[in-house]
Amino acid sequence: MASKKQSVKITPFEAVGVVAAQSIGEPGTQMTMRTFHYAGVAEHVPTGLPRLIEIVDAKKEPKKPIIDIYLKKSIAKSSSESEKVAKEISSLYVDDVAKVEDDLEKLYIAVTYNEKDGKAQGVTFAALKKALQDFSENQKVEGHQITIKLGKKKTKTGEKKMTAKAVRKMTQKVRQALVRGVQGIYKAVVLKGDGEYFIRAGGFNIVGACQHPSVDPARVYTNNIKEIEKNYGIEAARNAIVREIKDVMDMQKLFVDIRHIMLIADAMTYSGNIKSIGRHGLSGEKVGVLGRAAFEETIKHLINASAFSEEESLVGVTENIIVGQTVPVGTGRVKLVMKGQKK
Amino acid sequence: MKKKKKKPGAASIFLNGKMVGTHPDGKSLSVRLRERRRMNELSSQVNIYYNEKLNELHILTDKGRVRRPYIVVENGKSRLTPEILGRLKNKELNWHHLVKMGIIEFLDAQEEENAYVAIKEEELAPDHTHLEVHPANIFGVVAGVLPYPEHNSSPRITMACAMAKQSLGIYTTNFNNRYDTRGYVMYYPQEPLVQTSVYKSLNLREKAAGQNCIVALTSYQGYNMADAIVVNRSAIDRGLHRVAMFKTYETEERMYPGGQKDKIELPTPEVVGYRGEEAYRYLDDDGIIVPESEVKGKDVLVGKTSPPRFLEEISVFGAVEEKKRESSLSLKTGESGKVDSVLVTEGPSGNRLVKARIRSIKTPEIGDKLASRHGQKGVIGLNVPQEGMPFTKSGIVPDLIVNPHAIPSRMTAGHLLETLGGKAACLGGMIADSTAFSGDTEAQFKEVLTKNGFDEHGEEVLYDGLTGRKINAKIFMGNVYYQRLHHLVSNKMHVRSRGPVQLLTHQPTEGRAREGGLRFGEMERDCLIGYGASMLIKERLLEESDKTVQLICTECGSLATHDYARNREVCPVCQNESVEPVEMSYAFKLLLDEIKSLGIFPRVMLKRKG
């Protein structure tokens, strides 16, 4: 056991970063553009190279954010109950169940409940009314129509008459008012995995989703790494990066040792916040001027270095290659130290 | 102006893409127009296309439309009746008659949309409008000459087409009178034993590009692994795939501003840059090389002198001294051959122009590329003398040995069929027809083979040429048409241990023509970093590239110079004499210079190592 442990250790001065980069980069060249088909939102999620770039660039929001919502054990067993939760979480706007029209002369917004859409979505007229109650106190209900009168607008100095432009703005807001569900979560689909049902939806509002009583907050997962960092911290974000890269590789049936991926995730997160790999992140923070200048934006770095009288201490690999010295990795790092002679 | 309203349901008529009018019934108009064309009242080059969806009728008379012939079909009956066929055979009619009679018409890409084409006459149905002249007609000129394409996989056909264009043969029959910059002519080209009807119609036997080789499908000592081919050296000695390469060198007597002119002559030793008597040894009195002299390396082909580059080269005595420069035309390094012929003419700008055509014989050697017509390419892996090759009891020795592993994964059954067909053609004294969809069949070949006392599958009992023992397996052997492709190692081979460097960077030059080095690129560098081979990186990127020793001022860190006049090392910035030699890459020295040009002062601060 001990010898096994010894043999697994990395030798001192091994260029682990380069090896990790090559180990991910080489299979990356073999990635196919083939996409796999899934139900619901997961259908057009970028996989393969585009997704890999997305992760490594530390994008604020993935192109297609996805949230996996796991339910409390009691509910997760039942398909119909899960389906119900999915409906409750999936966001529904006024525009989906009603016709919204505005009158710019008389300054009012008319919302007409569409019974057919409403019934299909399971939204009653009362629910619609409730969703609209925050907009104005001056509301009139006539059959299936709600008229929101917008005579005056409250300002700090008193009341002011609404302009037509403000009404238009308000109309947009009315259309986008949430009737039901969690803001930012859409197209929820119930999937089965590992003997239980879970919900896969578009969006990434973790906090909102966790507020639903049937959701198990410990198991909510999203592919938005920044959101994970915000809500669960940097360690969780690191694990998310590892998991996401691994998923991409697995999906293409490419096998990369997990430790290479972990090294990259570590490099991206060790400072406490997520840094991208590239000129705005990791490479932009190299110590050596020459190293940075050799990567991208050569002139910018040289000029800044001169303005602040920077010193190049030649610690990096590229810097030493430029100057024409041995590189401080592998054999180049090893020094022979002689014991002082005894007298 | 008010636009005339189109009647509902009326078709728009377009002439070459421009709308010219309307017609109540576009479809019937298109039918009638075509009838006119078939009656030769309209030019046969006019095409009519009716788009039912958009209700548009397009009449096309543009230039540049690609058109191809079809047999016209009426009510499920071909217009090319047996009676007309008979008259064709009697030479009463020819192709042009058929076009005029409306039996054959040319469709372009657009009119093709309205056609329903039957590929074979047997499958004609009442709603067919046209019939292919021949099923093989779907292939173009290049694919048309490939044997048995219907037995091969499509990627291999594509590759075979690409390679057929690289084959060496007789590219033109007047090659002797031409001065092409580069041209190859095969010594003994043969027409293929297995050929298509297209091959005959194109009269390619005049310009054959390959030879019929006896091919055995087996392994040979591992020298034909991974698409290598073992070749019978005795066959090569007898002229198999032997090719002459012609290369033309040319030079011109150019005019310079100021009335000066180059002169084609035998340079005298006074000329600046005289290359020594040796270099000019083949030149005639006029400075032009004698035909049939054997040249190689940097030998001069045409001696030429140019006026001095700068006019101010005036001697102290006042008289303008005619110091001419040497600017002879010489053979490129590494090339050799005989001077085939020399041409003296006038160039496009009226200057005297000399062309010299060099001929060199390129016998097949290890590394040259050969290919059959089925996308089965390979390079020669070994030359074996005839006595080392396997042989049959009757003494037949293959010219080529191809590895059987080349066949199954590529699915080129046509190659095998050609092997069989070639063998049958040899024995039967005929030329086998391999036209797509209608060529001679395997059964026919088998019959010929059995009739001649051969195994019907084309297999032979072979004896190992090295041991003389019988090989314990029957080996498929037959005749295949092989092409030699113009990727010859002798034109590509390149090595460098030392050589020229670039003036600016002091790094090795690039490319074979400049005797250059091979780039040790970024990815290669990354690999060495990943391996931790620090010293090797330094060797590749510094020692073997652009290492220099520069003097650095220990005081201010700028580049110092050696003052030869006073024999001291001094820093030009601070006049300091405490200067140290530092080993660095010349590229880094350039970088420092460039940074200085940006207005930034880089300092190199020195520290003792260790």
Residue pLDDT, tens place only, B202-240: 889 889 999 999 999 999 999 999 999 999 999 999 999
Domain extents for chain B?
11-133, 149-242+366-484, 244-362, 514-610
**Cα–Cα distance, B188 to B180 (Å, whole number):** 21
CATH topology classification for B514-610: DCoH-like (3.90.1800)
Which residues of chain B does A325 touch, with a Cβ-Cβ cutoff of 8 Å? 538
For chain A, residues with pLDDT lower than 50 are none
**Which among B534, B583, B591 has CB closest to A327?**
B534
Residue B395 has pLDDT above 80, yes or no: yes
| Cβ atoms within 10 Å, residue B253 | 19
Instruction: Please tell me the predicted confidence (pLDDT) of residue B334.
Output: 84
Alpha helical stretches, state H, chain A: 2-8, 16-29, 48-56, 73-76, 79-89, 94-97, 115-121, 125-132, 164-175, 206-210, 225-232, 234-251, 258-269, 289-295, 298-307, 317-323
The tokens of B409 are what?
């994964």
Q: What is the pLDDT of residue B1?
A: 45
User: What strand order describes the sheet that includes B336-346?
Assistant: B182-186, B243-252, B352-362, B336-346, B294-296
Q: Mind giving me the DSSP string for B97-159?
A: HHHHTTSEEEEETTGGGG--EESSGGG--TT--EE-S-GGGGS-HHHHTSS-GGGB-HHHHHH
Instruction: Find chain A residues with C-beta within 8 A of B587's C-beta.
Output: 322
Q: Is the distance from CB of B57 to CB of B10 less than 8 angstroms?
A: no
Q: Which of A327, A334, A335 to mutate to test the interface with B (most CBs of B within 10 A)?
A: A327
* Alpha-carbon radius of gyration of chain A: 29
Q: How far is CA B304 from the centre of its chain?
A: 33
Q: Do B530 and A19 touch (CB under 8 A)?
A: yes
pLDDT at B479: 95
User: Given this model, what pLDDT does residue A158 score?
Assistant: 62
| A25 → chain B, closest CA residue | B523
B532 touches chain A (CB under 8 A): yes
Determine whether the interchain pair A333/B537 forms a contact, defined as Cβ–Cβ distance below 8 Å. no
**3-state SS assignment for residue A31:** coil
Tell me which residue in A13, A324, A326 faces B585 most closely, judged by beta carbons: A324
**Chain A residues within 8 A of B585 when measuring between CB atoms:** 322-324
In whole angstroms, give the CA distance from residue B445 to residue B193: 13
Helix (H) or strand (E) holding B529: helix B522-531
Mean pLDDT of chain B: 91
CA distances to A29, A134, B181, B401, B503 from B333, in Å: 39, 88, 17, 35, 20
Hey, are the CB atoms on B529 and A329 less than 8 Å from each other? yes
Which residues, 6 or more positions from A51, have their beta carbon under 8 angstroms from its beta carbon?
A: A45, A62, A244, A248
Q: Nearest-CA distance from A291 to chain B in Å?
A: 13
Asked if residue A186 lies in contact with residue A65, where contact means CB atoms within 8 angstroms, the answer is: no
pLDDT digits (tens, 9 = 90+) for B462-492: 999 999 999 999 999 999 999 999 999 999 9
Q: Is some CB atom of chain A closer than 8 A to the CB atom of B527?
A: yes
Q: Do A321 and B525 touch (CB under 8 A)?
A: yes
ipTM of the complex: 0.75
What class is the B149-242+366-484 domain?
A: mainly beta
CATH for B11-133, options being 2.102.10.10, 3.30.540.10, 2.40.70.10, 3.90.1070.20: 3.90.1070.20
Q: Which residue has the tokens 């959101």?
A: A227
Closest residue in chain B to residue A20, using alpha carbons only: B530
What is the token pair recorded at B158? Answer: 């594509």
* Radius of gyration for chain B, computed over Cα atoms and rounded to the nearest angstrom: 36
* DSSP 8-class letter at B206: G
Closest-CA residue to A104 (of A56, A25, A171, A17): A171
pLDDT, position B321: 57
Distance from CA of A296 to the nearest CA of B (A): 15
Rounded to whole angstroms, how far apart are CA atoms B209 and B191?
8
> How far is B253 from A314, CA to CA, in rounded Å?
56
Angle A16-29/A234-251 helices, nearest 10 degrees?
A: 40
What token pair was written down for B60? 């096309």
Alpha carbon separation from B69 to A203, B96, B137 (Å, rounded): 59, 12, 9
Tell me whether strands B377-384 and B228-232 are parallel, antiparallel or unpaired. Answer: parallel
B19 to chain A, any CB pair closer than 8 A? The answer is no
Mean pLDDT, residues B559-586 taken together: 89
**Minimum-distance CB partner of B541 among A22, A321, A330:** A321
| Banded model confidence at residue B316, pLDDT cuts 50, 70, 90 | low
* Minimal C-alpha gap between B396 and chain A (Å): 47
Query: Are A134 and A128 a contacting pair, CB within 8 Å?
Result: no
Q: Which CATH architecture has domain B244-362?
A: Beta Barrel (2.40)
From chain A, the residues in CB contact with B588 under 8 A are 322-324
Under an 8 Å CB criterion, which residues of A touch B?
13-15, 18-19, 21-22, 299, 302-303, 305-306, 311, 317, 321-333
Could you list the active site residues of B? 227
**Position B361 pLDDT exceeds 90:** yes
> Among partner residues A303, A324, A332, which is closest to B534 by beta-carbon distance?
A332
- For chain B, report the end-to-end CA distance as a whole number of angstroms: 94
Which is it for strands B11-15 and B56-60: parallel, antiparallel or unpaired?
Answer: parallel
Q: What is the DSSP letter of B271?
A: S
pLDDT at B550 over 80: yes
Angstrom CA distances, A118 to A91, A115, A130, A131, A190, stand at 14, 5, 14, 14, 21
With beta carbons under 8 A apart, name residues in chain A contacting B526: 18, 21-22
